[in-house]
Amino acid sequence: MLRFVILSLLVVAVLLLAGCVPGQDNYSSERPAGFLSGIWHGWIAPITLIWGLFGSVRIYEPMNTGWWYDFGYYIAVIGGFGGLTLTRSRRKSS
């Protein structure tokens, strides 16, 4: 039963992420992606990278506000991936 619940939650999470990927014509020149969209796209960058290998999804939104989108994107990428190294324990050498 626990496996079914975990699998169901995983499927729901993937479907929710599918609607928020960059490069799917969600943004236009009148309504470009901003800082918060950049953060979101940075957090889901590993998923969109894998998805982009098999589909037509881009890892980066081309219709963006420029520097603010880039800033949010890089904060999320560095914070998401760089933060993992801070939690690892160091092994003591004997």
As to burial, measured by CB atoms within 10 angstroms (0-12 exposed, 13-18 middle, 19+ buried), residue 84 is exposed
Beta carbons within 10 angstroms of residue 7's beta carbon: 10
Q: Which residues pair with 23 in a beta bridge?
A: none
Q: What is the model's pLDDT at position 31?
A: 87
Q: Classify residue 12: in a domain, yes or no.
A: no
Q: What is the model's pLDDT at position 5?
A: 92
What pLDDT digit, counting tens, does each position of 30-89 carry?
889 889 888 888 888 888 888 888 887 888 888 899 999 999 999 988 887 655 555 555
Q: What domain range includes position 38?
A: 31-83
Q: What is the model's pLDDT at position 41?
A: 87
Q: What is the model's pLDDT at position 35?
A: 93
Number of domain units in the chain: 1
Q: What is the model's pLDDT at position 80?
A: 73
